[in-house]
Structure 1
Amino acid sequence: MKYSNLQQLFDEPIEKIQILDPGYSGHASDVWLVKTASQEVVVRSSRWRNEPDREFWWGCKFMFGIDPRHMIYMKENSKLLQTVSEIALPKILSWAEMDGREYLVVEKMKGHALSSFKNQSHELLYQFGVWLAKVHLNTSSFYGNLAKTKVGKREEFHNKLAQAMKGIAEREYPSDSHIRTSLDPILEQLHDLPHPQHFCPILVDMDPSQFLAEAGKITAIVDTEAYVIAPREFDFIGLEYVLDEASSASFLNGYTTILGIPELSECRRAYRYFYRLLGVQGSVDLDKWFAQSELF
């Protein structure tokens, strides 16, 4: 799409357009910073044109029903996250569809993208912990997504997760013998796990790059495409790959003012396997992935 077509989203002439690149390949959205005479805003639109068919988005759609081509998910995620005051979220200013592609215009937020949660101040990590616990207070009686295009029974979650694991392993890793031979033992572990009890919004691709910070505080969360309804344990599984012992301690100091931490010992290996299949932190060797430090 030519940048000039973005003009249709605005009443005023566009003075400047800047591409906002998250700095990693495979991201789902095109994002532009757009300046007119009276405002500077961010425009988002999905890169996907066809049905998601790669490990992360295929798995998220199969498991939770979210589709990056449609902005209804970000709109519903925004409604909930706007209610949690500790970390701001860009307000949605307008929505449009052009040539079969959806666009969201959102406010520009202050701050710079976080490159890491490690070596951040105690105050920032404490704030992050309080915020995440308050997000987790929004419990649900189903798994799926906040737009409710998928509403699954909680007691069927692990059965569906097993199907997702099989599907991704077969589709994406047909020649990876280590991933394939690990599948059946993981499925046996999954079968023996008790039903999760605490379903709430979780961010499948939890990563510091989703957040902006300034003056030692997180100012905003700006990428919420992969928010789904799932066991809160999933967020803790993801966090073990982006925190270290020091940063997790500060994070927990904040989180535990609101909620206790979940028990991960029984589910950690199975849930970690699912996250590796999704490639949430790239194509990490499976043994190295399983050997990640246990922080919670």
Structure 2
Amino acid sequence: MVAYPHLSSEQQQDLPKLIQVTALPVMYEDSTHQLWQCDTFQDQLILKICSSDQVDKSTFWQGMANLFDVNLPKQLGKIDQAYETVTTLSQLAIPEYISSGSSSPQTHAFILATKLPGAMVTNIEVDDDMVISLANHIGDLHQQEQKKWGRFYQADFDSQKWPLRLQDTLIALAENQSMIATELLDEVIELAANCTVDNFVPIMPDLRWDQFLQQNGSLSALVDLDAFVYGPRELELVLLEYLLDEQQANLFAEHYQKNHSLPDLTQVRKPYRLLLFMMNVLGEKNIDNWMQASTRF
């Protein structure tokens, strides 16, 4: 009998019966998951096995733990709530959730979901229609406002804690990053004290084009939901300034503003940019290039 890789007998006892399993290439050197395509008698599924060691080494997940209290291996067992909510809110296709489990001394954390048709989006393929679809997707998610923030399945931080935890996270991440000038860090810590937020929405602090699929040139699906949290929409918009060129940003803004006003990012841009840099969200290593990047919104 074909078994699911790295899952205990108890973890896989109620999962669909397998025909074959194929390991998929690791996309990035610091990837926190090993992916497997699992062919069953009903569907093709994608199994993601989470490496606790890789998560511990990841500055991104260190930032997620410090700021949002997210411990990925310990909390994957509750990721079904993200799949359910995003499926309800977004116009894009979302994989059907099958099962997941958190890590323990004896077991690996994992997610099992259906494989959707389409090809991973690359930056060079992004056109106007994809930008409009992204604006509609994010606009739909940003309509889901609430007063608490933090982990997607249990957002229980009050708004007053946002600037405090933001400051603490910036300080903690900077301890191991010698390229961050003391003057810059001090300035950003002071600015972070004024990063007040009234309402929080579903955001992806690791938003990238390669987390989406396209079919026939149209943005069709979002397939990576691991990092969803409730946070300030301004943080996601600051990240989007790195993903969109000027023309794309103008098009995004036009469609996003059909349901939302664009917030003023002037006071939050520098703290959020430094946070995203130290979390290594897009792999940039030059702090000057990152902080001086063009503003879009």
TM (norm. structure 2) is 0.89
Task: Give the ranges of 4+ consecutive aligned residues of structure 1 lying more than 4 Å apart after TM superposition.
Answer: 2-8
Kindly state the Cα deviation for residue 166 of structure 1 after the two structures are TM-superposed: 0.6
Helix, strand or coil at the partner of 2:295: coil
CA contact (8 A) 1:14 1:36 kept: yes
After alignment, is 159-168 or 92-101 more displaced? 92-101
Distance 1:200 1:73, change over 3 A: farther
Tell me if 1:83 matches 2:84: no
* 2-structure distance, mates of 1:47, 1:14: 25
5 Å matches for 1:266-285? 266-285=267-286
5 Å matches for 1:94-173? 94-95=99-100, 99-116=106-123, 120-148=126-154, 151-170=156-175, 172-173=176-177
| Deviation by residue 1:203-246 (Cα, 9 ceiling, x = unmatched) | 00110011111122211111111111111001111111111012
Helix, strand or coil at the partner of 2:243: coil
Amino acid at match of 2:85: L
* 2-structure distance, mates of 1:7, 1:50: 20
* 2-structure distance, mates of 1:73, 1:235: 23
Tell me if 1:185 matches 2:192: no
Kindly state the Cα deviation for residue 283 of structure 1 after the two structures are TM-superposed: 4.0
Higher normalized contact order (CA 8 Å, seq sep 6+, divided by chain length): 1
In structure 2, the partner of 1:196 is: 197
Helix, strand or coil at the partner of 2:66: helix
Distance 1:130 1:197, change over 3 A: same
Distance 1:12 1:153, change over 3 A: closer
Distance 1:286 1:75, change over 3 A: same
Amino acid at match of 1:277: M
Helix, strand or coil at the partner of 1:34: strand
Distance 1:286 1:215, change over 3 A: same
Kindly state the Cα deviation for residue 4 of structure 1 after the two structures are TM-superposed: 5.0
Gaps of 5+ in 2: none
CA RMSD of aligned residues (A): 2.3
* 2-structure distance, mates of 1:54, 1:120: 28
Amino acid at match of 2:174: A
TM (norm. structure 1) is 0.89
Gaps of 5+ in 1: none
Amino acid at match of 1:103: F
After alignment, is 10-19 or 256-265 more displaced? 10-19
* 1-structure distance, mates of 2:158, 2:89: 26
5 Å matches for 1:172-251? 172-173=176-177, 175-176=178-179, 178-191=180-193, 193=194, 195-251=196-252
Amino acid at match of 1:39: D
In structure 1, the partner of 2:36 is: 32
